[in-house]
Amino acid sequence: MAESLLSILLVTSSAKGSSVVFRWPPCPQTSSRLARPRPPSDNLQLDNPWRAANFSDPFSSIMDRQKKDEALLNDMDDYEWKRPTTLRDRSTSFSRSAASSSGRNSPSKDAPFDHDDLDHPQETDAYHDLFGYSSEFLASMLCPQRSLCHQKFELRIDDLVFLGHPVGAESDGSWRFKSEKLKSGSRGRGSRNRDATQQDDGKSEISSIAEKGPPAQSLWLQMFHFVIVLDLPDPSSSASGNVAKYFDVIYEQIAFTVTAVLFQEQVLSNFVEAECDILVSLKDEYIDKGEPYSEFNAQALLRSSLAPAMKTLYEAIQSSTMAYITIHDLPLELQLPPYLDHLLHSEEEYDLDFVDYKEDDDESRAWGREMSFGWRLPALAPWKSLLLLDGDQGLDPYMNLRGPHVRPEERTLAQGLIKFLETASVTLSLADMASLLDWDLENQIYPTVRWLVHHRRAKVVDIVHSGLKTIFTLPPRFEASLSSLSIDFKREFPHPSIPHLPTILSNVSTATSKQSDNHFFATVVQSKELIPLYHDVVLWMLKHELLLTLHLRIRIVATSELKKIVRFAHERRLGRLSQRERQRARGRQLSQKFLESGDELSNGLSEKREMAGVAWLSLSPKTARRYSRRLPSTESGQSKGSDMSGSVFVEDEDGQMYEEEESEEENVGWGTREDNVWPSMISDPGMATPLERRWLAAMSEGKEEYIARRFEKINQYFDGKKTDDEILFRAEISRKQLREVLHHYEEYLQTFLHPS
Amino acid sequence: MPSEGDTFLPRIQSVFYAVFDDQQGPKIVFQVPEGLIGVSTTGPTYGTTPVSSSPTVNESDVPLSRRSSSSLISLAGQRPNSRSLSSPQHRSTSSNRCLFNFDDISKYVIPRSDFCGRLIICSTSNHRIIGFPVALRGRNYQRNYFRYNLCFVFERSADLSCYEPVVRKVSRVLTACEEESLFLSSQQAPHALYAILEQLYEDLNSYSETSIPIDKFNSIELKIFPFYPNPPPVKDWTVPLALINISKRTEENWDLTVLKVIKFIDGVNHVSRIAQLADCDLELTRQAISHLLYYQVIMIIDIFQYSNMYTLRKNVQWLADEAHVKEECGPYVTKPGLPIPDWPKLLHLYSRLKPGKTIYEWMDAYKVHELGIDVRRFASFGVIKVCIFPPPLCACIWFTDFLCYRDFYGGYIAGQFYFPWKRGQGRKYHRLAGEGKVSHRQL
């Protein structure tokens, strides 16, 4: 809900001047403002002697305070700032004709600088009074210069914000689409709220029509401006810049989109002018008859098609639902992001849940631009699952196809959608669905998911184990009161073996304190027969946002003992090497000499070396070390032997081994700061340093081969960031296999359980 | 000159003064820097660039006002290089760009009387113009009225909340001057106004404050305060925790209650206890804490109790790899003189904090007392994590709590019933037959 939305206006401008053609609601009211700060509720201004004299014990003082507060509230009237209503003063004080705007000659003394005001009796004030201003004057302010047309319009007057996108006719009075570049840009953005798959069609359609030229000629309309009026939100309640962002979203999602459609219809069929003709003549008729504004308003809703659309839009925004409006037979679906209003409140109120909503990282990019902000969507990833919601209209894929715009490709789309909906289940990941339906994940599944989520018919959730062995926890707050939820729950699940909702919630909330058997099955279901029944319970709870899935993250610890073992092995190897060194001292001297003389040659050969792998012997020991440092150490570990074929200078086998082993050993970083025997975390096993790799390898010592191999394969995901679902998906292993690894490597692994 | 990235405050692109001219209608009389706003009128603006562009006020005013501003939010970092600011005239000659055309916005700058006396912000495609149009009536004026507006121009994306009071005040002072001595309309001292614009432009951009004496009685004293959202209400049972060493930054002219209160902010005392210790009124103490909270030099945590419960937040996945977290945690949480447990051990302990498990049970299960860990500090380290050098106060203090606090409350008929994870702040929710939230301590 856009809690700040005050009104929606349609303003037009012609040679005769500007006017507010229609507005909804009929009499918008701004929220009250305080003229000065309220005194603290504690009567702080009273001095201490007074307080001492009036001391009362703390219990009765609460009552006193309540009384005082009430009195204060009654007394609050003069703290409220009253908007000066200029119109009323004027309408009684003097009268003037409306036509002239600058050619006044004799300023009257009592109102010396009012240019043009209408002379109207009191009862028609509603026609001309808008937010305390004359509506004609406000309309003139909302019709900017031509140079400010076709761009975002933003005007703030005290605490009223006017947002819109004024569009005007060309200088010759005709309505045309702008140049090619501008047109395609505006169409692309304008159709944002439609089905993503329709965008391209929409664009091409418009441009093809545009080339035909305008079929209808406008008579008087020079400019129209679809204006959203907002009450300036309290800036002190939110972080700096949020309010501007908030306006931007409303502008993009509502004002711009509606304007784009209206502009198109105006250009194509002079629609806006025709609507305005109806509304203006109706208004004049009702003013002449002296009927109240509400009568006009009711009649306008019947006679015009634009007026009810504005009403529907206003009401949908107020109730935070999707607005299904039809403008000149064009169905439009408009909505604001569900969490938009949270921008206006301090973090304390909303964002400090333990679930972090990162709105602008890579994860939300998968959702596309219009859903990346204010939607609080989880990442769209293959290991996520889809929960279908039962919307108000039910899931009727044909609903959008009833209009006159049915196209064959849309029909096939709808058929695909039905198939998709039948397959979707929270126990299936999106990747599973892709393979079941034989759809492409990126190009078919994701767009469908996006469409469903955007139309609030589904939401992306974490996959639920088919045996309900998923660990849940409770969200920080419930969307409804627990009592009403409990009643609904009981009505939905009258089965005697299903306990009350609070009992289930209580069990779920305490479950995580246990180290094992903390999943839903163990804590709530407890019987295999009940699993199908509880499936529905879980679905119901997920739909009502009563459950949050907890995820396992895994980190690897290199323990002190492990490090000691690795170091011991290293020292033993060193010992072996030094022994060998003594044996080979003479040979080494020779080879060194040989190598130094070959340095030049080796530099010249460097290009060849890059291509043909590393010719270890062609490098001086130092260069070789540098080179191998650039290689991942596993490769250097595997390079034994294989590189020998490429060596230019072949020495005897032992000497070669020696060179290589030494360089490898030095690469590992023995003796560096990293090389200690204190336990440490291997923060990113996928990018482990050579030393960390030694530790990882040492962890597998004495383990069964297949376990060790699996550990080697999946330890790259044990960085404490990837969830268990993600690991299972990426490593293509089963949950059981993962559990096996966790069990075997328990001493080196730390697990974390928190929501994502 | 500080670049725009250096400061929270938006940079003034231009300041201009416009009036409703009897012959020409709305027009710009002066703008600083000159020539940035396109004016199509052919009539000459009176008072073209004064040859000597030095402001009429003597320079000593500026340092004076600077000296007096060593408050918490003074933007001290910007000062030293600000003297090298090129004069606005140089700027205008070096760049020929035109921000926008005055005609486009003239109806918002000098509007009809309905809009006078109201703060108006209008926008062009790239800029935002904030002004407070004023209409004064009087028989001495040719048309019986005089309308003017002093506007500031900013980038379109600028957040103008901190400039709103400034614009209102400038307008108020100028109105007073005009009413007293026809300062604006007399045309006797147009250059004085130009100098005012110039000083507004330079001082506000470089010092964020200015002091411009206009006549004997009137002067414009401005200071721009960066904009922070209001802090949440301070509850008596919450514990303030200093994020910087406040006592080093105190000044004796601070509020007396604040001076008294900060001595007892140690991360253990709760608000009402602080009021008691500092011998201050409870409401005043709350307000003092609120102010400190507003400037983000303290944060609010919960009273530590062995019956508290905590749980991991998502941030733990990033913070566990942060070097400063790893390095600081051990020394901070360990009792003095005892060996410091290694980070994996501490992280493991953090990972075992779960809802449903009290600190007491957790200590028992993992033999925490044998490790020499100060559990209160262990918990508060988890709840907050403070950047080591909180630089200028107006800049950044990072809250990077990676724990979420849960307090024990067994209340519901069906048994223990936890509502976890209001961040850190350990609100205790007791659902009375499922109706709404009632804080446990309020009961």
* Residue A696 pLDDT > 70: yes
Q: Is B357 on the interface with A (CB under 8 A)?
A: yes
Q: How confident is the model at residue A164 (pLDDT cuts 50, 70, 90)?
A: very high
Cα B79–Cα B82–Cα B85 angle in degrees, nearest 5 = 170
Q: Which residue has the higher pLDDT, B406 or A360?
A: A360
Torsion of Cα atoms, B355 then B361 then B366 then B371, to 10°: 110
Token look-up 């702080």 returns A44
Average pLDDT score over chain B? 73
Query: What's the rounded Cα separation, in Å, for the pair A507 and A524?
Result: 7
Q: How far is A664 from chain B (nearest CA, A)?
A: 28
Give the 3-state secondary structure percentages of chain A, helix then strand then coil, rounded to 5.
50, 10, 35
Query: What's the rounded Cα separation, in Å, for the pair B51 and B40?
Result: 24
Residues 86-105 of B with CB under 8 A from A: 101, 103-105
- Give tens-digit pLDDT for B278-301: 999 998 999 999 999 888 888 888
- Give tens-digit pLDDT for B321-330: 777 788 888 8
Nearest-CA neighbor of A156 among B151, B202, B120? B120
Nearest-CA neighbor of A153 among B13, B118, B156, B133? B156
Reported in sequence order, the residue ranges of A409-504 that DSSP labels E, i.e. its strands, are: 458-462, 472-473
* Residue A305 pLDDT > 60: yes
> What pTM was estimated for this model as a whole?
0.72
Query: What's the rounded Cα separation, in Å, for the pair B431 and A96?
Result: 64
Cα B120–Cα B124–Cα B130 angle in degrees, nearest 5 = 25
The reported pLDDT for the residue numbered A50 is 60
The pair of structure tokens assigned to B104 is: 């486009």
* Residue B246 pLDDT > 60: yes
Q: Is B229 on the interface with A (CB under 8 A)?
A: yes
The pair of structure tokens assigned to A729 is: 């998906």
Residue spans of the domains in chain B: they are 4-223, 239-301, 311-389, 394-442
Average pLDDT over residues B261-290: 92
Contacts of B342 in chain A (CB under 8 A): 678-680
Q: Which residue has the higher pLDDT, B419 or A677?
A: A677
User: A354 and A274 in contact (C-beta within 8 Å)?
Assistant: no
The reported pLDDT for the residue numbered B154 is 94
Instruction: Output B52-59 pairs: Cβ under 8 A, ≥24 positions apart.
Output: B53/B87, B53/B88, B53/B89, B53/B198, B54/B195, B55/B195, B55/B196, B55/B198, B55/B199, B55/B202, B55/B212, B56/B191, B56/B192, B56/B195, B57/B195, B57/B199, B57/B211, B57/B212, B57/B213
Query: What's the rounded Cα separation, in Å, for the pair B391 and A566?
Result: 43
Query: What's the rounded Cα separation, in Å, for the pair B250 and A225?
Result: 54
By percentage, how much of chain A surpasses pLDDT 90?
A: 10
- Give tens-digit pLDDT for A570-581: 888 888 888 887
Cα A291–Cα A295–Cα A299 angle in degrees, nearest 5 = 125
- Which 3 state secondary structure label does DSSP give B310? strand
Nearest-CA neighbor of A341 among A25, A4, A593? A4
Average pLDDT over residues A1-25: 86
Average pLDDT over residues A542-565: 88
In chain B, which residue's Cα lies nearest the Cα of A161? B121
User: B194 and B30 in contact (C-beta within 8 Å)?
Assistant: yes
In chain B, which residue's Cα lies nearest the Cα of A482? B434
Token look-up 């894929």 returns A397
* Residue A380 pLDDT > 70: yes
* Residue A323 pLDDT > 90: no
DSSP labels, B178-218: HHHH-TTTS-S-HHHHHHHHHHHHHHHHHTSEEEEE-SSS-
Q: Is A213 on the interface with B (CB under 8 A)?
A: no
User: A710 and A723 in contact (C-beta within 8 Å)?
Assistant: no
Of A27-31, A315-319, A682-686, the range with the highest mean pLDDT is A315-319
Query: What's the rounded Cα separation, in Å, for the pair B408 and B308?
Result: 5
The reported pLDDT for the residue numbered A346 is 62
User: A43 and A75 in contact (C-beta within 8 Å)?
Assistant: no
Nearest-by-Cβ selection for B159 from A115, A154, A241: A241
- Give tens-digit pLDDT for A499-531: 889 888 888 887 777 777 788 898 888 888 889
Q: Which residue has the higher pLDDT, A629 or A136?
A: A136
User: Do B423 and A112 lie within an 8 Å CB cutoff?
Assistant: no
Q: Which amino acid, one-letter code, is at A736?
A: K
Average pLDDT over residues A302-327: 89
- Give tens-digit pLDDT for A524-549: 888 888 898 899 999 999 988 888 88
Count of residues making up chain B: 443
DSSP lists the bridge partners of residue A459 as: A387
Q: Is B433 on the interface with A (CB under 8 A)?
A: yes
* Residue A604 pLDDT > 50: no
Alpha helices in A326-407 (DSSP H): 347-350, 362-365
Among A494-508, A589-603, B10-24, the least confident range: A589-603
User: Do B108 and A141 lie within an 8 Å CB cutoff?
Assistant: yes
Which strand (E) or helix (H) includes residue A628? helix A621-630
User: A643 and A613 in contact (C-beta within 8 Å)?
Assistant: yes
The reported pLDDT for the residue numbered A124 is 57
- Give tens-digit pLDDT for A97-118: 333 333 333 333 334 344 444 4
Give the 3-state secondary structure percentages of chain B, helix then strand then coil, rounded to 5.
35, 20, 45
The reported pLDDT for the residue numbered B387 is 26
The pair of structure tokens assigned to A59 is: 């219990």
Among A31-40, A360-369, A640-649, the least confident range: A640-649
Of A207-216, A598-607, B120-129, B183-192, the range with the highest mean pLDDT is B120-129
Query: What's the rounded Cα separation, in Å, for the pair A285 and A292?
Result: 11
Distances, alpha carbon A87 to alpha carbons A10, A13, A287, A347, B287, in Å: 21, 21, 17, 40, 42
* Residue A654 pLDDT > 70: no
Cα A252–Cα B105–Cα A170 angle in degrees, nearest 5 = 65
Token look-up 């098609």 returns A305
Residue A114 has φ and ψ, to the nearest 5°, of -100, 120
Query: What's the rounded Cα separation, in Å, for the pair A350 and A347?
Result: 6
The sign of the dihedral angle between the CA atoms of A365, A367, A371, A373 is negative
* Residue A88 pLDDT > 60: no
By percentage, how much of chain A surpasses pLDDT 70?
A: 65
* Residue A435 pLDDT > 70: yes
Residues 114-153 of B with CB under 8 A from A: 114-115, 118-125, 128, 135, 137, 143-145, 147
Among A50-59, A452-461, B267-276, the least confident range: A50-59
Please state whether the peptide bond connecting residue B33 to the residue before it is cis, i.e. omega within 30 degrees of 0. yes
User: Do B434 and A109 lie within an 8 Å CB cutoff?
Assistant: no
Q: How confident is the model at residue A83 (pLDDT cuts 50, 70, 90)?
A: low
ipTM of the complex: 0.72
User: Do A348 and B232 lie within an 8 Å CB cutoff?
Assistant: yes
Residue spans of the domains in chain A: they are 5-32+110-182+193-308+338-344, 462-545, 577-614+632-666, 679-755
* Residue B337 pLDDT > 90: no
Query: What's the rounded Cα separation, in Å, for the pair A485 and A493?
Result: 12
Tell me the fold of B239-301. Answer: Arc Repressor Mutant, subunit A (1.10.10)
The reported pLDDT for the residue numbered A349 is 47
Average pLDDT score over chain A? 73
Q: How confident is the model at residue A80 (pLDDT cuts 50, 70, 90)?
A: low
The DSSP code for A353 is B
Contacts of B227 in chain A (CB under 8 A): 235, 240
Nearest-CA neighbor of B126 among B150, B104, B155? B155
Contacts of A349 in chain B (CB under 8 A): 232
- Give tens-digit pLDDT for B27-44: 898 998 888 888 865 444
The pair of structure tokens assigned to B252 is: 């004796």
The pair of structure tokens assigned to A495 is: 């089965």
